[in-house]
């Protein structure tokens, strides 16, 4: 039998009390698009995250089933399901962090920009809900094309008078995860020991791995540099083609989204030195948004780091990235202001 709302509420309070005694805060997290290919494994991994006390799962289909399933896991977070637009407010009210993987994925032969027409409207509606119900929440935006959906979200928040650039983060962690994996393969290292900054945006040539800044310090031949840059830039397409019409990266994306969400929650908790790459409002280049390393803190992306020294290969890549990014950002802004 599903538990009653009263039993559930008292369970939340008991757990919150336990946590308060242990000194560890629990955060309230909503996933919008929680029944999807990314949403389901992401919801499972967030249900396992000890920093999460309440997990709200919203979708336009199937969220009750996903919620019932996950609610049987004996981990701390209390899971609640929300189905369809009339329940969006309930899903969002009181949230500290909102993760958005709602929207359609690519099929072979499509670019991420081909998703704009459908996903732009979805992101607009969901962000209007965020502005109304949890204007102070941190937003992790996954829906593609990220290079346009983040500017769309910013314009929605500006119109609502709630925009705080520190709280809006486009998730580019999968590019870093892939870069770490592919670089580790070339170097013969454990990927957990490798850290590759990936800057720019999240589509094709806008994905710019900074191989000159890899940790631990190393060097690559021109052939290795070309191979790695192309593979990292086309990692998404590699998965789309392998899935042959059944969608795009979901499992590695859920892993990457949880890595990033966990970093945001540790920042909110006040942990020091939390640094991740993300696509954020930025003054690093002449563009209004750009992905670089950011420092995550109690109020979101509290510091946006400069690019650091680039080699000639990376400087050429940066020019290509900026050209494409400028159009994608403008397209997102124009969608809201048309």
Provide the binding-site residues for ligand LMR, judged by CB under 6 A. 105-106, 112, 144, 174, 202, 235-236, 239-240, 248-249
Residue 171 sits in the site that holds ligand NAD (CB under 6 A): yes
Distance in Å, CB of 247 to ligand NAD, minimum: 5
Residues between 31 and 50 with contacts to ligand NAD, criterion CB under 6 A: 32-33, 35-39
Distance in Å, CB of 65 to ligand NAD, minimum: 11
d(CA 154, CA 146): 12
Residues between 113 and 142 with contacts to ligand NAD, criterion CB under 6 A: 115, 119, 122, 125-126, 142
Residues between 197 and 256 with contacts to ligand NAD, criterion CB under 6 A: 202, 247-250, 253
Tell me the pairing of strands 52-59 and 27-32.
Answer: parallel
202 is catalytic: yes
Closest to ligand LMR by CB, 92 or 174: 174
d(CA 101, CA 123): 9
Residue 59 sits in the site that holds ligand NAD (CB under 6 A): yes
Q: Are 248 and 239 in contact (CB under 8 A)?
A: yes
Residue 103 sits in the site that holds ligand NAD (CB under 6 A): yes
Closest to ligand LMR by CB, 82 or 290: 290
Q: What is the dihedral of CA 315, 166, 95, 126, to 10 degrees?
A: -60
Q: Are 42 and 257 in contact (CB under 8 A)?
A: yes
Q: Are 304 and 294 in contact (CB under 8 A)?
A: yes
Residues 6+ apart with CB under 8 A from 230: none
Locate tokens 């008991």: which residue?
14
Q: Are 64 and 14 in contact (CB under 8 A)?
A: no
Which partner, ligand LMR, ligand NAD, none, binds residue 239 by CB below 5 to 8 Å per kind?
ligand LMR
Helices (H), 23-142: 39-47, 63-71, 88-92, 116-133
Locate tokens 């309440």: which residue?
54
* Overall residue count recorded for the chain in this entry: 338
Which partner, ligand NAD, ligand LMR, none, binds residue 33 by CB below 5 to 8 Å per kind?
ligand NAD
Distance in Å, CB of 105 to ligand LMR, minimum: 6
The closest residue (CB) to ligand LMR is 236
Which of the residues 56, 80, 167, 202 is marked catalytic?
202
Identify the CA nearest to 257 among candidates 61, 29, 75. Answer: 29
Distance in Å, CB of 98 to ligand NAD, minimum: 12
Q: Are 332 and 120 in contact (CB under 8 A)?
A: yes
Which partner, ligand NAD, ligand LMR, none, binds residue 204 by CB below 5 to 8 Å per kind?
none
Closest to ligand NAD by CB, 141 or 183: 141
Total residues interacting with ligand NAD, rule: CB under 6 A: 33
Identify the CA nearest to 173 among candidates 272, 300, 45, 261. Answer: 261
Distance in Å, CB of 163 to ligand NAD, minimum: 21
CA 143 and chain centroid, separation = 8
Closest to ligand LMR by CB, 36 or 129: 36
How many CB atoms are located within 10 Å of the residue 259 CB?
Answer: 16
d(CA 57, CA 82): 6
Closest to ligand NAD by CB, 77 or 256: 256
Residue 261 sits in the site that holds ligand NAD (CB under 6 A): no
d(CA 323, CA 161): 30
Which partner, ligand LMR, ligand NAD, none, binds residue 247 by CB below 5 to 8 Å per kind?
ligand NAD
Binding site for ligand NAD (CB under 6 A): 32-33, 35-39, 59-61, 101-106, 115, 119, 122, 125-126, 142-144, 146, 171, 174, 202, 247-250, 253
Catalytic site residues? 202
């Amino acid at each position: 039998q599903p538990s009653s709302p009263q039993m559930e509420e008292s369970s939340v309070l008991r757990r919150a009390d336990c946590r308060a005694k242990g000194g560890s805060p629990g955060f309230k997290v909503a996933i919008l698009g929680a029944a999807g290919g990314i949403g389901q494994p992401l919801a499972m991994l967030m249900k396992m995250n000890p920093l999460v006390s309440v997990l709200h799962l919203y979708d336009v289909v199937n969220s009750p089933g996903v919620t019932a399933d996950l609610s049987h896991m004996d981990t701390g977070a209390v899971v609640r399901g929300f189905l369809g637009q009339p329940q969006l407010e309930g899903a969002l009210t009181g949230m500290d962090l909102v993760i958005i993987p709602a929207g359609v994925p690519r099929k072979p032969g499509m670019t991420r920009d081909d998703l704009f027409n459908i996903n732009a409207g979805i992101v607009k509606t969901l962000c209007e809900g965020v502005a109304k119900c949890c204007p102070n929440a941190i937003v992790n935006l996954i829906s593609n094309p990220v290079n346009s959906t983040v500017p769309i979200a910013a314009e929605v928040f500006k119109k609502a008078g709630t925009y705080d650039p520190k709280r809006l983060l486009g998730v580019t962690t999968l590019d870093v995860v892939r870069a770490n994996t592919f670089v580790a393969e070339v170097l013969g290292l454990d990927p957990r020991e490798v850290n590759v900054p990936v800057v720019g945006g999240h589509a094709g040539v806008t994905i710019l791995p900074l191989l000159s800044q890899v940790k631990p310090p190393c060097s690559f031949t021109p052939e290795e540099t070309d191979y790695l840059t192309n593979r990292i830039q086309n990692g998404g397409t590699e998965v789309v083609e392998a899935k042959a019409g059944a969608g795009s990266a979901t499992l590695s994306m859920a892993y990457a989204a949880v890595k990033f969400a966990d970093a945001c929650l540790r920042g909110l908790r006040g942990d020091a030195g939390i640094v991740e790459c993300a696509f954020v409002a930025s003054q690093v280049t002449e563009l209004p948004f750009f992905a670089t390393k950011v420092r995550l803190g109690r109020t979101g992306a509290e510091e946006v780091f400069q690019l650091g020294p680039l080699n000639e290969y990376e400087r050429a890549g940066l020019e290509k990235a900026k050209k494409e990014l400028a159009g994608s950002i403008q397209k997102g802004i124009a969608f809201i202001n048309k």
